[in-house]
Structure 1
Amino acid sequence: MITSPIASAPTSAADLPVVRLLPKANARAIRHGFPWVYANEMVVDRRTKNLTPGSLAILEDSARQVMGIVAVNPLSKIFCRMLDQNSENVIDQSWFAAHIGRALQLREQLYDAPFYRLIHAEADGLPGVIIDRFGDTAVVQPNAAWADVHIYALSAALVAVTGIKNVLKNASGRTRTLEGLDDVSAVLQGQAPDGPLPVPMNSAIYMADLTGGQKTGIFYDQRPNHAFAANLSNGKRVMDVFAHVGGFGLAALANGASSVLAVDGSAPALELAQKGADAMKVADRFSTRQGDAFDVLTALRAEGAEFDVVICDPPAFAPGKPALEAGLRAYERIARLAAPLVAENGILGLCSCSHAADLTQFRTASVRGIGRAGRRAALLYTGFAGPDHPQLPQLAETGYLKSLFFRL
């Protein structure tokens, strides 16, 4: 049993403070499923400002009608996150278990092995909570203050429902900073793995570093887009740019690619990609090149390199609205530099995980870059995150991933 001196006791509705919407707030949107209330929509007085970040409250509209239980953080622009529209429910281990159980049922319908995103935040009813599963180990990212407060009830429910042995807390990331949270990771249950864990996906083997890698150690969201690119790669020369642990490249090798070059700025990530190729016994067809992607693409063109399939899957160039214009220019530049390296009638895949850049903006920037490179393109496929990353229709941010595949 997981215990902690800071774990919060179950609280009934009668014990919770009340917070209230301003008349200008869109109460209808919240009732219809929008999960956030911004600070400028709230009645904020000395009492509400002094609420502890992550504490629970009853949300009322401006007419004092109860709307549900929310998690409150006066330090965040997102002042309230809706947890339950039934204000009589109790946010305790059983409540977490019910949500995790529903999420688990869906993933077990989708996948025949326990390697997937188990909880995808708002769309799975746990705002700000990410849980990726790696067999008997899960990595939890509590990216909202309320999840930090209730982390031990969440962890206990996770163990009870799934039967996993190890639960790790990953406290890295920009979102926690915005919530006023620390960056201290921890082992919540069991133990951390001694080294990278093998993750089977799309017939490839990826090596995931759960304690020292990016995010939770691997990106499950691109699974269907890896598969699409792999189907085009049999017998082809492939380059995987921003490869991380080999996402597109190793899937291509599993589908018969004649060669793969993985490009990334991180030496540890490329070492993991190489270990994946070794585990798949395809190392003779796999090579790596470390360096800034823009510089490497420029150098490869000077070298006269050519590939049948090129995929670029960069980090978020536009993580928020202030970075949107610069981010779109970066996506255009990537397309302009990558397109000349694609053989005639070859494939160029371009990806964006920036929620601030919508599909139309990203597609426009990509097509502009391809055109500036002197190439003509036909759009073959538009991909999104896999079904273990469900979208909440009311929240555009949950539809962050876009993947475009062109024939040049």
Structure 2
Amino acid sequence: MNQPISLSVRLKKGREAPLLSGFPWVMAADIADSSALALAENGELAEIRGTRDAFLGIGYYNRASAIAVRMLTRRRQPIDVDFFIRRLQHALERRRPLGVPYYRLVHAEGDLLPGLIVDRFDQHCVLQVATAGMERLLPLVLQALDAVIAPQALLLRNDIAARTKEGLAQDVAMLRGEMPARLEVLENGCRYVADPWRGQKTGWFYDQRDNRRLVAGHASGKSVLDLFSHSGGFSLLAARSGASAITLVDSSPLALTLAEEAAALNGVADRCTFLRNDVFAAGAAQAQARVTFDIVVADPPAFIKTRNDMASGLKGYTKVARLAAALVAPGGLLMVCSCSHHATRPRLREAVLHGVARVGRGVEILAFTGHALDHPVHPHLPQSEYLKALLLRLE
């Protein structure tokens, strides 16, 4: 069944250029006559038209959002089950190099499905729908998922703040089957444990897959400190890769419980120390005791959620880098991560290097990386490139 396209959104003169260049959004300020859309329901499909009524594509419209239209296609085509099947098949093909069915299957605009996240845990999938338009299209998405991967269980984790900006309620709902309280995640040969119901986001952060492997490649025979460890993504793979000892620090009891369960699954529990504490307090105590580690990873939550947070957030990354650098043994490695798209690469590099310099450490940049391949970056949407990871060697 096709979704009817009942609206026509016309752009102001001179506002076509970003869309013609590939930008996937139409901002509310770019619409010529929004009063003509006053009776539109949020999330309705719309044809986008420019100067002289030229067809520019199809998207969905939301008058409650500053991002008035999110583009679905630049072609004239029905928005039906087959449309979503093609999108999902293309997304699946991009993930084939990963080899195992544990990945982010749909990454919103990165997979040309704005507002939709689908994380796959073999036969279980956790979905997040961030926009009114994608919520209206969800029945078609579910039919397409059945056709492409036929998951046994589907959990909707719509407890995300982005929905509020779209005028949507937050909720968590079981769509199909049974979702256990624990899911095993296979990644880089390591067995992790995720909580799809209570864990952050969908229960697991697939975006750090490559960065975890990068750190693990240096870990054999080394001691590793994992700050803001969550459920042990970095440190447990390091342990499986031969690290002599790992220490995980996080303030979340749930996250550390998941890490402990995963440590047992991987047979590395005897090399693990789990510290439930504020990271800054724990790090300060270790620095005072002159404890150092061969590898330190710091993967804090986003410090810069809006542009207004920029100054304080960059100071936060400097503070983290200063704390972590003081705990790195001479010649050791430090990785600092940021999951804020506002923290651009130059800004993050400057903030981190400033923190390292404040403890008097010389530094060599070994790598500056981003997200894994199942989190594709939209080439015309800088906001989709959010994760950065800086790997340093300290003198």
Calculate the TM-score normalised by the size of structure 1: 0.94
CA contact (8 A) 2:7 2:44 kept: no
Q: Quote how far apart the aligned CAs of 1:12 are.
A: 4.3
Give the aligned partner of residue 48 of structure 2.
Answer: 59
Structure 1 segments unaligned to the other structure (5+ residues): 1-8
Tell me which of 201, 213, 238 is aligned to 1:215: 201
Residue 402 of structure 1 pairs with residue 388 of structure 2: yes
Q: Measure the CA separation in 1 of the matches of 2:244 and 2:228.
A: 20
Q: Distance in 2 between matches of 1:202 and 1:11?
A: 40
Asked whether 1:102 is paired with 2:73, we answer no
Q: Distance in 1 between matches of 2:342 and 2:38?
A: 29
Provide the residue aligned with 1:4 in structure 2: none
CA distance in 2, matches of 1:323, 1:77: 19
Name the aligned partner's letter for residue 48 of structure 2: L
Residue in 1 that maps onto 2:240? 254
Partner of 1:31: 20
2:156 pairs, out of 144, 166, 169, with: 169
Whether 2:8 is the aligned partner of 1:18: answer: yes
Q: CA deviation at 1:399?
A: 1.1
Residues 227-269 of structure 1, C-alpha deviations (whole Å, 9 max, x = no match): 0100111111101111111010011001000111111111101
Q: Pick from 288, 295, 307: which aligns with 2:281?
A: 295
d(CA) in 1 for partners of 2:340, 2:33: 31
Aligned counterparts of 1:133 and 1:145: Cα–Cα separation in 2: 23
| Runs of 4+ in structure 1 over 4 Å off | none
In 1, Cα distance between equivalents of 2:84 and 2:104: 16
Distance in structure 1 (CA, Å) of the matches to 2:164 and 2:291: 42
Correspondence for 1:117 among 81, 98, 104: 104
2:107 equivalent to 1:153:
no
CA contact (8 A) 1:58 1:67 kept: yes
Q: What residue number does 1:188 align with? A: 175
Q: Could you give the per-residue CA deviations for residues 167-205 of structure 1, whole angstroms, max 9, x where no partner exists?
A: 111112222222221111111222222x21111112211
d(CA) in 2 for partners of 1:201 and 1:390? 18
Other structure's SS at 2:53 match? coil
Distance 1:323 1:49, change over 3 A: farther
1:388 pairs with one of 360, 364, 374: 374
Q: Distance in 2 between matches of 1:82 and 1:220?
A: 25
* Partner residue in 2 for 1:328: 314
What residue ranges of structure 2 are gaps of 5+ in the alignment? none
Provide Cα deviations, 1:58-107, integer angstroms capped at 9, x if missing partner. 111132111111101111110000111123x1212221111001111121
CA apart distance, 1:163: 2.0
Number of the residue aligned with 2:79:
91
Q: Which residue of 2 aligns with 1:201?
A: 187
2: CA distance between counterparts of 1:159 and 1:292? 43
Mapped to 2, the partners of 1:260 and 1:121 lie a distance apart of 35
Is the contact made by 2:4 and 2:45 (CA closer than 8 Å) also made in structure 1?
no
Equivalent position of 1:376 in the other structure: 362
Q: Which amino acid aligns with 1:315?
A: P
Instruction: Work out whether 1:280 is the aligned partner of 2:280.
Output: no
Task: Name the CA distance, whole Å, in 2 between partners of 1:392 and 1:212.
Answer: 29
Q: In structure 2, which of residues 283, 286, 300 is the aligned counterpart of residue 314 of structure 1?
A: 300
Please identify, of 226-235 and 298-307, the stretch whose mean Cα deviation from structure 2 is larger: 298-307
1:231 paired to 2:231? no
Please, which of 323, 331, 354 is the counterpart of residue 340 of structure 2? Answer: 354
Whether contact under 8 Å (1:159, 1:165) holds in the other structure is no
> Is the 2:129–2:135 Cα contact (8 Å) retained in structure 1?
yes
Check conservation: 1:349, 1:404, Cα contact below 8 A.
yes
**Root-mean-square deviation (CA), in Å?**
1.2
For the residue of structure 1 that corresponds to 2:51, the secondary structure is coil
1:82 aligns with 2:71: yes
* Partner Cα separation in structure 1 for residue 104 and residue 302 of structure 2: 19
Which of 172-181 and 276-285 deviates more?
172-181
Other-structure match for 2:352: 366
Distance 1:45 1:226 in 2: 47
Cα distance in structure 1, aligned partners of 2:294 and 2:3: 59
- Please state how far the C-alpha of 1:49 moved relative to its aligned partner: 3.4
Query: Identity of counterpart residues, as a percentage?
Result: 38
3-state SS of 1:105 partner = helix
Q: Quick one: distance in 2 between partners of 1:181 and 1:276? A: 35
Q: In structure 2, what is the Cα distance between the partners aligned to 1:211 and 1:44?
A: 43
Distance 1:305 1:50 in 2: 64
Corresponding residue SS for 1:364: helix
Cα distance 1:147–1:321, how it changes in 2: closer, same or farther (>3 A)? same
Q: What is the alpha-carbon distance in structure 2 between the residues aligned to residue 11 and residue 354 of structure 1?
A: 35
